[in-house]
């Protein structure tokens, strides 16, 4: 089947996708598989890591977590658990500080996305988005809820924003980093946010089922139905 040409790809604006979810939800696996599918079918895909490419003052924030919050900053593995202490820290002054920092993140995100949308990439995939920042806040608080709605109105909205849901016990087994009670609160915050921000929730599924569910959501954004993992001749709309 004939692949799309470069001129076809440049005739339409890029599709913007984002993936959010708890640590250990399988988010990175889904992003990698989708990127491979698209690249193998001739699409130009840009993957953007929110922490490395968007977050304001990322080095200072990481240093604060290590020095002040005593977080080891490692990625937990089943054979080597980590002791993270950052977004699970809930002191009032830390939450207040996040409100300020996330506003800077939102401003930078707006600039980054607007620049990318004028480029020559077919599909832009964000590994985390502003949603993952907001999920660390007490969204049940009326002030924070209003703040979150303001941020959501301010930043560009992806064409599809995926929330990869996961059972906390399963997610923690994959990435043992945070206490289980926090993981349960974190999941509730994500699900609450999904109703506020209109996220597309992919329920806890195995890798193949989740991938198929993601493809079904992407299909309406493309010019013809997909067959399995076949993206050939598909042009973003």
Read off the pLDDT of residues 172-194 as tens digits, 9 standing for 90 and up.
Answer: 999 999 999 999 999 999 999 99
Q: How confident is the model at residue 222 (pLDDT cuts 50, 70, 90)?
A: low
Give the single-character DSSP code of 219: G
Report pLDDT digits (tens) over 72-82.
878 888 888 88
Q: How big is the CA angle at 199 (ends 193 and 204), to the nearest 5 degrees?
A: 90
Contact 186, 167 (CB under 8 A): no
pTM of the model: 0.88
> Is the Cβ–Cβ distance between 122 and 9 less than 8 Å?
yes
Bigger pLDDT: 9 vs 217: 217
The CATH class of the 12-221 domain is alpha beta
Cα separation of 79 and 77, whole Å? 5
Query: Crossing angle, helix 142-154 and helix 180-197, to 10 degrees?
Result: 60
Sequence-separated (6 or more) residues with CB below 8 Å from residue 28: 127
């Amino acid at each position: 089947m004939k692949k799309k040409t470069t001129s076809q790809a440049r005739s339409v604006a890029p599709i913007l996708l984002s993936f959010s979810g708890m640590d250990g939800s399988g988010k990175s696996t889904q992003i990698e598989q989708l990127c491979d599918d698209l690249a193998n079918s001739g699409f130009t895909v840009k993957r953007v890591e929110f922490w490395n490419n968007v977050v304001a003052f990322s080095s200072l924030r990481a240093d604060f977590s290590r020095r002040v919050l005593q977080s080891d900053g490692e990625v937990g593995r089943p054979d080597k658990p980590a002791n993270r202490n950052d977004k699970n820290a809930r002191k009032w002054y830390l939450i207040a500080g996040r409100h300020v920092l996330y506003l800077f993140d939102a401003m930078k995100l707006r600039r980054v996305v607007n620049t990318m949308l004028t480029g020559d990439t077919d599909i832009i995939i964000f590994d985390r988005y502003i949603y993952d920042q907001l999920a660390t806040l007490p969204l049940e608080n009326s002030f924070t809820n209003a703040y979150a709605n303001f941020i959501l109105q301010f930043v560009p909205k992806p064409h599809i924003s995926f929330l990869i849901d996961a059972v906390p016990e399963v997610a923690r087994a994959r990435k043992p980093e945070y206490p289980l009670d926090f993981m349960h609160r974190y999941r509730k915050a994500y699900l609450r946010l999904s109703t506020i921000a209109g996220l597309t929730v992919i329920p806890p599924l195995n890798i193949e089922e989740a991938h198929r569910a993601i493809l079904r959501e992407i299909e309406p954004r493309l010019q013809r139905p997909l067959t399995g993992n076949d993206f050939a001749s598909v042009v973003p709309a």
